[in-house]
Amino acid sequence: MKKNTEADRERVFREYPVAKALRVMVVPAVVSQLIVLIYNMADTFYVGLTDNPYMIAGTSLILPVFNISLCLAGLAGVGGGALISRLLGQGREDEARRASVFSLYLAAFIAAVFAVGTGVFMDPLLKLLGAGENTYEYARQYALCVIVFGGVPTVLSNALANVVRSVGRSKEAGAGIVLGGLLNIALDPLFMFVILPPGQEVLGAGIATALSNGIACLFFITVVLRMGKGSVVTFNPRAGLASKESVIAVFAVGVPSAVATFLFDLDYVIIDKLMVSYHDLALAAVGIVLKVERFPLNVGVGICQGMLPLVAYSYGAGNHRRMNDTIRLARRVGLLIAAVSIVLYEIFAGPLVRIFLSDAQAVEMASGFLRIRVLATPLMFLSFFTVYLFQAFGRGRISLFLGVMRWLVFNIPMLFILNHFFGMYGIVWSQVVADSLTVLLSFYVLCRFGPKKEAVS
């Protein structure tokens, strides 16, 4: 008799109607993505209560570095998770278990290296990010907490979420991320305004974030242990060494995922650097916008995260019809949400920005920035949707090509070009212009280089 875990997995991946399977996998992923965004914004919200724009700017400067730590989780988690789902579709459960062990230990190792490196090179890193006299100390305090001391549990919990989701346990994956987010929201005001003295609010926010991520990591470890000895997801090295083919497959998808995330954050760093050349209020304004705009983007990421194991499993099993139906439905849902977000942000940009900023000039700038940036939402969704598809197919080189083209050829050069000709607002318009080109390229690549049997329209 099959174990319950295997039966559950087959019901989600094979037996559920496509709409139900997508809902079961996507909803927890979307909720967790929104909670992650909310708790990231919670730090900014509570720091904003101090009416100190330099504290807001300091925490905003660290956001790209924090996201780079998450891209390391993607290297092991996305690469490993996509492989595990494909292996399960092929009926190779033992190899999937070995790939799980490799992915989780890889995540812990690279997280530790990144945390130590950030601590050692803190000063030049902050200067590179654009920290000035008014923002340096705040940025340093936040980085020490969330990256140096909190980096390993943050990366490991996110890698675990991807790997756990890859075997059909999207609820557990979402629950762990939600737990960490809700704890951070609750602990922020406690450390910022009760435990620590005035002037140490950024330090309090950092401690709350590190602690909540640590607890989330313990939750995931507990989930894995409770899944039992026969589970595909395990820390037990006795499962054996992953094959050379599997190791290559993890890196083939994981490295492009990490590179794409890194380039995404590099884009944010460059935006911050260019905005600094105007004034600190512009930096504070764009820092808020880059967070607020991510609500619909994170929903789109959640859709892709939930879709990926379903597509990868069907691809591995050779069930092309089910795979195509899943892709089409996920894409339609993502585009619908993007369209709704444009309408809402155009109407409510001002009130949303005022949640985080009180300075009238900064609010006016941020509202204008947001109304422009949100126009790129459907284009951004289509761009990373295509990348997720090739990750599900195990086609890492193509996903890497699309990521490099998007950021190094289109987005980042467009920042400098439009900034030169149109100034501050040229920076804001760059996303719309660059991602229009990216979508055209992505559509061509999917039609031209996607496996013929899996081609979708």
Residue 251 lies in a domain: yes
pLDDT for the residue numbered 451: 58
Side chain identity, residue 296: P
pLDDT for the residue numbered 2: 42
Residue 14 lies in a domain: no
Look at the block and give the residue holding tokens 């730590």. 69
pLDDT for the residue numbered 405: 92
pLDDT for the residue numbered 10: 60
Residue 12 lies in a domain: no
pLDDT for the residue numbered 3: 46
pLDDT for the residue numbered 457: 42
Q: How many CB atoms lie within 10 A of CB 455?
A: 13
Q: Read off the pLDDT of residues 233-267 as tens digits, 9 standing for 90 and up.
A: 888 888 888 899 999 999 888 888 888 878 877 88
Residue 3 lies in a domain: no
Residue 13 lies in a domain: no
CA distance 277 to 286: 13
∠ at Cα 161 (159, 166), nearest 5°? 100
Evaluate the CA torsion angle 210, 270, 301, 245 in order and state its sign.
negative
Whole domain around residue 426: which residue ranges?
Answer: 25-454
Residue 97 lies in a domain: yes
Ranges of residues in the chain whose predicted pLDDT is under 50: 1-6, 453-457
CA distance 66 to 177: 16
Please choose, from the candidates 78, 74, 83, 156, the residue with its C-alpha nearest in 3D space to the C-alpha of residue 115: 156
Residue 19 lies in a domain: no
Instruction: Count how many domains the chain has.
Output: 1
pLDDT for the residue numbered 455: 46
pLDDT for the residue numbered 69: 79
Rg (CA), the chain: 21
Residue 436 lies in a domain: yes
Please choose, from the candidates 115, 238, 100, 118, the residue with its C-alpha nearest in 3D space to the C-alpha of residue 160: 100
For the record, the structure tokens of 53 come out as 């724009």
CA distance 24 to 364: 41
pLDDT for the residue numbered 448: 85
